[in-house]
Amino acid sequence: MRAKLVFLGRLEDVAGRAGEDIAASAPLDWYDVIGWLGGHFPPELADAVVSEKVRVAINGALVADKYELVLADGDELAFLPPVSGG
């Protein structure tokens, strides 16, 4: 199974890149994704994405409850930080 993670806004800065392809032997749930992030990126990234203010989208559709998500083969998971404006 392969999926793509996409980091937007300030999360891209924390990650040091805009995205990452991941491979797994089975579908990944939210906890699997967070564990994978913790092993491949600075701890600040995992801390940031578990924040209730960070939204996630699978294949362009916002996820209502990120704790219930399951990634399937070919999915794209985007992390959307809170919007600040001026």
pLDDT at position 82 is: 85
- Return all residues near 62 (Cβ < 8 A) that are at least 6 apart: 55, 56
Could you read off the pLDDT of 16-72 as tens digits, one per residue? Answer: 999 999 999 999 999 999 999 999 999 999 988 988 789 999 999 999 999 999 999
Domain membership of residue 75 as a residue range: 2-80
Q: How confident is the model at residue 85 (pLDDT cuts 50, 70, 90)?
A: low
Pairing of strands 61-62, 55-58: antiparallel
pTM of the model: 0.91
Instruction: Count other C-beta atoms under 10 Å from residue 72's C-beta.
Output: 11
Residue 40 in any domain: the answer is yes
Could you read off the pLDDT of 4-18 as tens digits, one per residue? Answer: 999 999 999 999 999
Instruction: Count other C-beta atoms under 10 Å from residue 7's C-beta.
Output: 25
Question: Quick one: DSSP state of residue 36?
Answer: H
**CATH value at residue 13:** 3.10.20.30
Residue 85 in any domain: the answer is no
Among candidates 44, 45, 36, which has minimal Cα distance to 18? Answer: 45
Looking at the structure of the chain, the number of domains it has is: 1
pLDDT at position 52 is: 77
Is the pLDDT reported for residue 86 higher than 80? no
Residue 43 in any domain: the answer is yes
Residue 7 in any domain: the answer is yes
Residue 86 in any domain: the answer is no
Helix (H, G, I), strand (E, B) or coil at 42: coil
